[in-house]
A and B are shown apart, each in its own frame.
Chain A
């Protein structure tokens, strides 16, 4: 049988929840960042699935824009991570929990 829309949506929900678990569990800043990227991709999958099943190109256009925003966020976010690492010598978010250097 051909894959139904709900299969893709279920897969997207599973990936999103795995990403949420990752963000809550992980302590390393870069690992948390990667879990956020996973969540963004799960949403991308939802958009593309809807775009394919309803034959509307807007879903894929939005995915395009989401990817661009994710790339911009990655660049600036990793720059911030490197700056934090230079100051604190540690990539642990628990160590960065106060504004004190």
Chain B
């Protein structure tokens, strides 16, 4: 019975993984990868690790892949062309992968043949309480360092997303003296009460401090990307 479940979920995992590599559209690849994650979570349940299975679904399938799917949608990623520019790469990749798999099979054979491999019993190490006990006693230092790592990731992501001067001007200025609200051109300046007095787009750029930046023209803007706010 458990063997049947293993074969089912393993087949699903391998199928979705091959599908992910074979797909040209990255969104289909992302959906296949979600399938891999969910089947791996089911495998973790058969390995008596329910907490890790639930965390896998919440973190990988529910958060990381949502982020990837958002990025794919926002950047409107196109399909890859096939064949790739370096056609010789595909057989080389398959050969290298086969070598890697041969190494792994070699090691697995020795793991299986050695007499000290214990047989499978129902284990209760996967319960939340034992993981919690381990995390807060023996592995407290890695836990705390991981939390600092996450803080670094948050700060890093915010820094990367802050693009200040690279924002293209949204309003095209009709010549003549005009008073523009700052937040028409830069949504982050909502609280800045001082308006911009200008006659041309170039003047606006100079005041905003973004002159010399390559423009994204309006046709490209409406075709390529959609901003949320």
Contacts and interface: CB of A to CB of B under 8 A. Distances in A.
Q: In the complex, A touching B, CB below 8 Å? A: yes
Interface of B: 2-3, 6, 10, 13-14, 17-18, 20-21, 26, 29-30, 33, 36-37, 40, 43-44, 46-49, 51-52, 55-56, 59-60, 63-64, 67-68, 71-72, 74-75, 77, 80, 84-85, 89-90, 92-94, 96-98, 100-101, 104-105, 107-109, 111-112, 117-118, 120-121, 123, 125-126, 130-131, 134-135, 138-139, 142-143, 146, 149-150, 152-154, 156-157, 160-161, 163, 166
Contacts of B163: 83, 86
A72 to B, nearest CB: 3
Contacts of A79: 156-157, 160-161
B90 A16 contact: no
B94 A86 contact: no
A3 B3 CA distance: 5
A69 B126 CA distance: 21
B35 to A, nearest CB: 11
B108 A9 contact: yes
A4 B120 contact: yes
B93 A27 contact: no
Contact of A91 (B55, B77, B123): B77
A28 B81 CA distance: 10
B13 A15 contact: yes
A48 B21 contact: no
Contacts of A69: 146, 149
Contacts of A14: 14, 17, 101
Contacts of A3: 2-3, 6, 46, 120
Interface of B is mostly: helix
Contacts of B71: 30, 78, 81-82
Interface string A24-53: 111110110111011001001100110111
Contact of B93 (A25, A41, A86): A25
Contacts of A30: 26, 68, 71-72, 77
15 contacts: A4-B112, A9-B107, A14-B17, A24-B93, A25-B93, A26-B21, A27-B84, A28-B26, A45-B44, A58-B138, A60-B49, A71-B63, A72-B149, A75-B153, A79-B157
A5 interface: yes
A52 B48 CA distance: 7
A1 B3 contact: yes
B56 A67 contact: yes
A18 B97 contact: yes
A52 B68 contact: no
B60 A25 contact: no
